Amino acid sequence: MQQVKEFLETLHTYIGGSEWFVFLLLGTGLFFTIYLKFPQIRYFGHAIKIVKGKFDKKGDVGDASHFQALSTALSGTVGTGNIAGVALAIHLGGPAALFWMLITAMLGMTTKFVEVTISHKYRDILPDGTVSGGPMYYMKKRLNIKLKNGKILKTGTILGVFFAIGAILSSFGTGSLPQINSISNSVFTTFGIKHIVTGAILAVLLGLVIVGGIKRIAKVTSKLVPGMAIIYFVGALFVIGTNYQEIIPSFISIFQDAFSGTAMTGGFLGASFAFVFNQGVNRGLFSNEAGQGSAPIAHSAARTQEPVSEGMVAILEPFIDTIIICTLTGLVLLSSGVWNEKLENRFQNADMQVLAQVYDDTKDADKQKLSLHLNKKEPLPLFTGELNIVDGEMENRVTFLHASSIAEDIVFYKDEEKYSGSIPVVKGVVKTDKADVVIEGKSLMHSAPLTTEAFKRSILGDFGKYIVSIGLLLFAFSTAISWSYYGGRAVTFLVGTKYVIYYRLVYVLAFFFASFADTTVIWALSYITIALMAIPNLFGLWILNRDIKSTIKQYWVNFKRDHPEEKAPKGVL
């Protein structure tokens, strides 16, 4: 699994983890923010009125209301990214990573607006009367090139196919695999229920929901999303309120290192600016999916003839998802102080590494070497050989890393007894499967277990872990529901509706198996699938910028005609 993880991470460095992808993502949001004169601010109030149904018309074509479309899209974005993803970003990049998540969200509000608008404009009405839409449809209809000899160069169709394939892969890498994996880990930590049992129960429930299509999905998510948001919101306020003296220092830490990288503190070994920036942007995208092209698939089902009105509804998504919920999670982690503490936990194989020499993270010189190693600037020598274990304790003079920190108080177990024997290590990779050994000890934590620990550092006590488990279960399960619809619409675009049932079957099976797979490998896979969707969508938005602007202008002309009593935002015409 370690080799798979390393291959996926290497591939990711050339795609989503590369600088050009980050600048493409932020650059698209920045361009449209300036080009359309800050629509995420000017249209915010109007968007709320639309969600309330103030301008709905009888006879509008679609399968869901504005609120149901927003709930479905939100349920696809509000998931592990808000609980586990924020914890992972802060774990890797420190508090400053949250700053770049928020910047990504602010620009992402505009990106969501334009991608939903143009996708809704070019949606398809299927023979059975249902609606199918998304970036693959605007690509097919608007990005083909007509040559001088009259022939059509099907560049748009090819882009649409590429996007649809990316959407199917991402439905697993974003919507199915990491969601159930985070749920099963959290449920096991909190309730002691085995991963496979959680996976089996939720896989059955998932199948029962998604077989009903968008109408049943919209009904379920429109009830789940508000409920889960309230539960998590109240719980987070309890934690932040308990640690109220740390609120201001937490805010300061988010901003002070945003342009310099995060300094070493506690068990955290520091992160360069480039690493912090990259982690914040990528985790921001995973959280709110602005630019990825997923939300337009849900919004295309909304009942309205005005594409721009649905685009405005989408403005609210990154605000709710990242600026509110992710900020809450970040403040919980920072105010509780758990993010840079070494805590008792069970080590995951793909998160472990053994260095050939002994390093001490209380010495500045060693901390600097370790920091450069973890930031992949100056790799340290890796250990190859046998770990000699006697009565659960390691005798080798090496440095054992787990979760980007030096592990302490390490104990090796086999069949719940302290292990004695040897464990092979190849280039720093511990082959625990050879001896069927479990390793426990103190190290930094990340993802859902870190957020769980943070919620316990409040007046809630151990009850806090139930808030995280229940919130994560509802967040992540609703995300898996929504992504099954996204993937199904991509299958419809590629091969037709009759093959969607086979996709749903594979989707549910993968959901089950991911409940007991390695977390870090699944996260590594999700990074790649996100980029495979986002890249063609972002290029398509750039190409159609004039179409988008003229569509928005025409919307306000029609709005002033139909609603003369309403005040439109300043400067819209």
Q: pLDDT tens digit string along 145-187?
A: 887 777 888 889 999 999 999 999 889 887 788 888 878 877 8
DSSP 6-39: HHHHHHHHHTTTSHHHHHHHHHHHHHHHHHTT-H
List alpha helices for 122-264, DSSP H. 135-142, 155-170, 177-191, 195-210, 213-242, 247-256
Tokens of 557: 């002309």
List the structure tokens of 536: 């063609």
What length is written for the chain?
A: 573
Alpha carbons 78 and 52: distance in angstroms, whole number = 20
Q: Is the pTM of this model over 0.95?
A: no
Which is nearest to 72 in space by CA: 456, 528, 484, 494? 484
SS3 428: coil
The DSSP secondary structure of 504-550, one letter per residue, reads HHHHHHHHHHGGGS-HHHHHHHHHHHHHHHHHHHHHHHHHTHHHHHH
Q: Report CA-CA distances (Å) from 497 to 112, 132, 358, 383, 571.
A: 27, 10, 59, 53, 43
Residues 6+ apart with CB under 8 A from 99: 254, 255, 258, 280
Residue 163 · residue 119 · CB < 8 Å: no
Count of beta carbons in the 10 Å neighbourhood of residue 263: 14
Q: Which CATH architecture has domain 2-36+64-142+175-258+280-341+454-562?
A: Up-down Bundle (1.20)
Q: Quick one: pLDDT at residue 420? A: 94
Residues 6+ apart with CB under 8 A from 361: 267, 269, 367, 370, 405, 406
Q: Which residues of 518-547 are buried (b: 16+ CB within 10 A; e: fewer)?
A: bbbbbbbbbbbbbbbbbbbbbebbebbbeb
**Dihedral (Cα; 46, 52, 54, 58), 10-degree rounding:** 130
CA distance 454 to 515: 23
pLDDT tens for each residue of 284-305: 876 788 889 998 998 888 878 7
Please name the residues in contact with 248: beta carbons below 8 A apart, sequence gap of 6 or more. Answer: none
| Residue 571 DSSP label | T
CB atoms within 10 A of CB 70: 27
> Residue 62: its pLDDT value, please?
59
Q: Which residues of the chain have pLDDT under 50?
A: none
The pLDDT tens digits of the residues spanning 22-45 come to 889 899 999 999 999 999 999 999
pLDDT of residue 63: 61
- Sequence letter at residue 93: G
Q: List the domain boundaries for the chain.
A: 2-36+64-142+175-258+280-341+454-562, 347-443
Report residue 273 as tokens: 């600016």
Please list, in sequence order, all residues whose beta carbon lies within 8 angstroms of the beta carbon of residue 41, skipping any fewer than 6 positions away.
none
